[in-house]
Amino acid sequence: PHGIYSEENWDKVREVLVPIGADLGPADLDELLVDFPEEQRARVGGFVGAVFRFYADLGYAYLELNPFVAVGDEVVPLDAVARLDDTEAFWHAKDWGAVEFPSAFGGKLTDEERYITSLDEKSGASLKLTILNPGGRIWTMIAGGGASVIYADTVADLGHCDALANYGEYSGTPNTEETYLYARTILKLM
Specify whether the CB–CB gap between 137 and 163 falls below 8 A.
yes
**pLDDT tens digits, one per residue of 155-176:** 999 999 999 999 999 999 999 9
**Between residues 64 and 188, the one the model is more confident about:** 188
Q: What is the pTM of this model?
A: 0.55
CA pair distance 109, 101, nearest whole angstrom: 12
Mean pLDDT of all residues in 62-67 = 82
Specify whether the CB–CB gap between 188 and 139 falls below 8 A.
no
Q: Percentage of the chain surpassing pLDDT 90?
A: 39
**Residue 144 confidence (pLDDT) above 70:** yes
**Residue 115 confidence (pLDDT) above 80:** yes
Say whether 190 sits in a helix, a strand or coil: coil
Mean pLDDT of all residues in 43-70 = 86
Asked whether the bond before 67 is cis by omega within 30 degrees of 0, the reply is: yes
- Out of 124-128, 141-145, 152-156, 161-165, pick the least confident: 141-145
**pLDDT tens digits, one per residue of 73-89:** 888 888 888 898 887 88
CA pair distance 47, 64, nearest whole angstrom: 13
pLDDT bracket for residue 66 (50, 70, 90) = confident
Whole-number pLDDT of residue 5: 63
CA pair distance 87, 6, nearest whole angstrom: 30
Nearest Cα to Cα of residue 136 among 189, 59, 178: 189
CA pair distance 14, 25, nearest whole angstrom: 15
**pLDDT tens digits, one per residue of 12-46:** 666 656 667 777 777 778 877 887 788 888 888 88
Whole-number pLDDT of residue 136: 96
CA pair distance 119, 49, nearest whole angstrom: 36
**Residue 2 confidence (pLDDT) above 50:** no
Whole-number pLDDT of residue 124: 87
Strand partners for 71: 74
